[in-house]
Structure 1
Amino acid sequence: MRQDVSQKKTLAVLGATGATGRHVVSTALQRGHHVIALVRRAGTFEPTEGLSEVTWPEVTDVSALTRALPGTNVVISALGGADKGPTTVCTDGIRSAVTAMKAVGVARLIALSAHGVLETHDKSLYSLAVWANVAERMRDKETMEPLITASGLKWTIVRPPKLSDHDAIGKYRAGTNLPIRLWSSVGRADLAAFLVDEAETPRYACAYPRITR
């Protein structure tokens, strides 16, 4: 993992106020990037050099994103739905993002999904367990991913296992065929570092990297 880059970027973060999104924002700022944080309400973040807030009260609002994204190098989506009940936050948000990105000519999209969707929705103990606990959120990600892969954008879909809130370890493993076990997990801070790493230097364009500690 890198601490700085020679060329600073402008990163737009969807889901910026969520548990993972806040780590993405702070990590990108620490590395000297400019961050556009999409938020439901203005004043969510403390004023910080390099940080711009843009109000995005509804994930279906394409026009707000279209106004926010000009000049952006990379869009990182850390969107997530409600813990319980049906949700379409990821699907609706990515549909809006793809439309807005095409409208303003932003080509690079990194989206947070989850291991256990689509072809990884199998009979493994991990997949069985995650679907038993958060099936609605997994369905949302299953309908989100095809919107990304059909978009024509330069995309990366990151599929982590269970997320934890412990401090950054600074070490993780990533790869497209990484085994995910029932006990696999990764901290949100380390996941955020990986997302920003990928924004700085694309290694998994049009691929589905997994990450675990």
Structure 2
Amino acid sequence: MKIAVFGATGATGRLVVVRALEAGHEVRAMVRDRARLPISHERLHVVVGELADQGAVDATVDGRDVVISALAGSARQPACTDGVRAILAAMRATSAVRLLVVSAHGAAESRDRSPYVMAVRTLLSAKMRDKDTMETLIRQADGLRWTIVRPPALTHSPRTGRYRVGTELKITLASRISRADLADFLLRAAAEDAYVGQAPRIAA
């Protein structure tokens, strides 16, 4: 596959790039600072630019089979909504239709009164509101084959390839998933064209 990756210098996005290259895919990654993605590979093409530069976003998406967003941003400056708005515009301009994004359990309709969701909505309120808005934009996009992945707390543990996935998977305060396994699932779902129009949860 030809894959575009956004958020490629983040802890999860970098692993998406590495896993995609390991699996034999061609990757085009957009970064603000090339030095923050210390990976060189004949199948890796890096676009340096800002999400506010629509031309750079368009160039990253153009000709790709799949777009994967692992954008997050900081607690003070969440990046999901603005980033996905630019990505969706690029996908419309280039006729790309397959999008996978990392969100979080507790966003949008998965918000409930469980201890996990109440905790994450309190501790990360701005980031969760940003993910709410991002998900709304994605669901409103015409003709888009989207998958919104909702992990619980993320760890830096190694990839195991063993995890549970489901739209009704129970997430608790003890739930965890490694970033490496999250990256593995994103690539699997992209390759298998799985969970289209769904928002699966994932946990170890």
Question: What is the CA distance between 1:203 and its match in structure 2?
Answer: 1.5
Once residues 39 and 180 of structure 2 are traced to their aligned partners in structure 1, the CA distance between those partners, rounded to angstroms, is: 19
Judge conservation of contact 1:91–1:144 (CA < 8 Å) in 2: yes
Superposition RMSD on alpha carbons, in Å?
Answer: 1.1
Residue from 23, 36, 40 that aligns with 1:31: 23
Question: What is the CA distance between 1:111 and its match in structure 2?
Answer: 0.6
Once residues 47 and 165 of structure 1 are traced to their aligned partners in structure 2, the CA distance between those partners, rounded to angstroms, is: 22
| Map of 1:193 onto structure 2 | 184
Once residues 57 and 184 of structure 2 are traced to their aligned partners in structure 1, the CA distance between those partners, rounded to angstroms, is: 24
Once residues 92 and 74 of structure 1 are traced to their aligned partners in structure 2, the CA distance between those partners, rounded to angstroms, is: 19
Unmatched 5+ residue regions in structure 1?
A: 1-8
Residue from 34, 53, 63 that aligns with 2:46: 53
1:197 counterpart SS class: helix
Once residues 109 and 161 of structure 1 are traced to their aligned partners in structure 2, the CA distance between those partners, rounded to angstroms, is: 20
- AA in 2 matched with 1:69: V
Judge conservation of contact 1:59–1:89 (CA < 8 Å) in 2: no
Judge conservation of contact 2:13–2:70 (CA < 8 Å) in 1: yes
TM-score normalized by the length of structure 1: 0.92
Instruction: Extract structure 1 runs of 4+ deviating beyond 4 A.
Output: none
1:170 is aligned to 2:166: no
1:183 is aligned to 2:178: no
1:166 counterpart SS class: coil
TM-score normalized by the length of structure 2: 0.96
Aligned residues: 202
Question: What is the CA distance between 1:74 and its match in structure 2?
Answer: 0.2
Once residues 28 and 37 of structure 1 are traced to their aligned partners in structure 2, the CA distance between those partners, rounded to angstroms, is: 11
Question: What is the CA distance between 1:69 and its match in structure 2?
Answer: 2.0
Judge conservation of contact 1:157–1:209 (CA < 8 Å) in 2: yes
- AA in 1 matched with 2:46: E
Deviations 1:139-179 (A, max 9, x none): 11011101111112110000111111111122000011111
Residue from 140, 148, 152 that aligns with 2:138: 148
Once residues 20 and 39 of structure 2 are traced to their aligned partners in structure 1, the CA distance between those partners, rounded to angstroms, is: 15
> What percent identity do the matched residue pairs reach?
46
- AA in 2 matched with 1:167: P
Residue from 110, 113, 116 that aligns with 2:106: 116
- AA in 2 matched with 1:105: S
1:69 is aligned to 2:61: yes
